[in-house]
Structure 1
Amino acid sequence: MRELDAKQITENVAQMCKEAAYYLPKDVYEGLKRGRETEVSPVAQNVLDQIIKNAEIARAEDRPYCQDTGMTIVFLEVGQDLHITGGSLEDAVNEGISKGYTEGYLRKSVVAEPLFNRVNTKDNTPGVIYTKIVPGDKLKITVAPKGFGSENKSGVKMLVPADGVEGVKKAVMDIILHASMNPCPPMVVGVGIGGTMDRAALLSKKALTRSIDERNPMPEYAKLEGELLDLINQTGIGPQLGGSTSALAVNIEWGPTHIAGLPVAVTICCHAMRHASRTL
């Protein structure tokens, strides 16, 4: 049984919150540059130039590349042979979020109660924490702050098996077209297929932690990712003011589901595609 001090978790989560806010992942940065090379609209070219320059300044100066530094989603893969000492795992993660957002001067956007009072917690806690028990004695942490300009345009469609592939495409495109330019495109689109309503939504979130250059290992889903990306880029939404670079990637994750169901969830992320991972 390996032991890991909760303080180490707190310190690492704090640092990861800052890294995710300051440093656009390399795959997304390169994706933006590829989009700039293929974009045909002069206005969209100018928008992409500004987005790319903004990411470069943020990295160079350790500053957030978007003012909405998100609600902090944290995925934990906990080895079954690991014992956390000195405090609880969730408390350690939330302390890390608080520390990172305070030290990093990141905007605190979380309210404690969603409907009647909406009082800001003033440290961006609590995070949205998902924990999975895995073999081994390590702890993998993925911090994925999620801005709400794009989150507000995400959605779930409960299909039936007879809807098939074409039904899935229509469900995804209905959500994308309703979102239009509001999620600050170019977008990265996470799609979850299968499970239950909530499981599909979780799968769509997990899809956004995958590199935009990595296709689903199952050929049929990899093909569907490409088809959906083409459809999205044919809409003319473009990088906020029209153009051909509406999305950089569509990432699909899937899971088993009920014989009567075909849940489809779409989580849209703006070009501020924040995430950072570490294994302790």
Structure 2
Amino acid sequence: MQRVKELVHFGGFLDCEYLRRTLAKEFQQMESSFKEAFLMPFSTISEKILCENLLPLFSLPSSPASTSFPVPTSISYYEDSSHAMSSNQTSQNSFIDYISFQIPEESFPEIANCIGIARGFMNDLISVKKGYSSLEAVLLGVPDGYHCVDLSLYKESQIVLLLNETTSSEGSGDACMMIVQANDLPFVSISRSTSLDYWMLHQLKESVVYLQMENEKVRSIPHSVIAPLAVSTSRGVACVFAARKRALVYILEEDEDEVSDAE
């Protein structure tokens, strides 16, 4: 009570609108910073990531508008220590790169709500530049009632999917994070030679992996969420942004019943 009297004496509550104006300005600056960060183009953060011949793995519409056809894509790589190197490659690191992308419904109308994961070994730079490399891919069907907002690689063998409930009104409904074990996915090998300019995924349409909520590790989110999904491998946490201007931090290594997530 004494503290309140001191604040009143010094005019702390004389201008009740001051605090509201100050907070509104701070929120506007934070929102502007988020928008600026989200609109930044993808940048290559390491010379070890090779993106010289990144081409679509699916057919695109033949209309003139296809030149600017947006396809959400994410590229990451990990150092692979599980594959032994031969004697003449001891000074060379082996890297496995992952490319995740959404499948446009215009490409595969018979496969709705599907995303793709591709991985390949890029340790032999000479062969890659000549057009020879190996690639494995798998198509994932998002569970019914959900659509994929974003996804991120977590460690070497896990993929985190950020899913929103499919609702009629924007910003309503709940969401969840699903952690998928990449080692358990049936990747199919696809070859490429100098006579081909692209890889084709049509043969994978018959072997789509349909994800089930009860078969994967799922974290419920009591809010509708928006992209992007930020994952820290070193800290073992994920940060998601709710549609109602909330930032939520989840600990990925612990079970849902054992932890209270920070907001």
Q: Which has the higher contact order (CA 8 A, sep 6+)?
A: 1
Q: For this structure pair, what is the TM-score category when the shorter chain's length is used for normalisation?
A: under 0.3
Structure with the higher strand share, 1 or 2: 2
TM norm structure 1? 0.23
Q: Report which of the two structures shows the higher radius of gyration computed on alpha carbons.
A: 2
Bigger helix share = 1
